[in-house]
């Protein structure tokens, strides 16, 4: 069974701290890994990773994928209260009837205090 596990499940930090969120996966037929930020309802897209070792960066957020060890990390530097959200990791499968299917982890709840 395909599995995506995120850690930690929740994290409380103060503004200015740096956080690292983890996502490990065990899936058949990996295609890509995606990170989403979910503040109220709709997850909003952050990054898509397909190749190992290539860091994707957007402002204070960055992410990298290790396809050998089957994990990804999402880093947020100089955190702000607006970063408070649930961060979801999802793996996209390829091939057959699972084509395109996203399998999500349970999410990491990040709370940033002023």
1 binds other proteins (CB under 8 A): no
Shortest distance, CB of residue 105 to other proteins, whole angstroms? 5
Report the residue count for the chain. 114
Say how far apart CA 54 and CA 13 lie, in whole Å. Answer: 27
> Which span (13-21, 55-63, 69-77, 104-112) binds other proteins, by CB under 8 A?
104-112
- Least Å distance, CB 15 to other proteins, is 26
Q: Is the dihedral of CA 75, 8, 65, 92 positive or negative?
A: negative
Q: Do 82 and 26 contact (CB within 8 A), yes or no?
A: no
Candidate segments 11-19, 55-63, 68-76, 93-101, binder of other proteins by CB under 8 A: 93-101
80 in helix, strand or coil?
A: coil
- Site residues (CB under 8 A) for other proteins, limited to 58-87: none
C-alpha 23/C-alpha 5 separation (Å) is 6
- Judged by CB under 8 A, the residue of 13, 48, 70, 73 near other proteins is 48
Q: How many residues belong to the site for other proteins (CB under 8 A)?
A: 26
Residues forming contacts to other proteins in the complex (CB under 8 A) are 4, 31-32, 34, 36, 41-45, 48, 50, 88, 90, 92, 97-107
């Amino acid at each position: 069974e395909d599995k995506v596990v995120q850690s930690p499940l929740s994290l409380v930090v103060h503004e200015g701290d740096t956080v690292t969120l983890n996502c490990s996966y065990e899936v058949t037929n990996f295609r890509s890994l995606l990170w989403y930020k979910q503040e109220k309802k709709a997850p909003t897209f952050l990054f898509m990773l397909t190749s190992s070792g290539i860091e994707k960066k957007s402002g204070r957020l960055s992410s990298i994928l290790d396809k050998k060890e089957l994990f990804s990390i999402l880093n947020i530097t100089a955190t702000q209260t607006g970063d408070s959200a649930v961060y979801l990791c999802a793996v996209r499968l390829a091939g057959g009837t699972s084509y395109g299917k996203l399998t999500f982890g349970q999410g990491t709840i990040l709370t940033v205090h002023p």
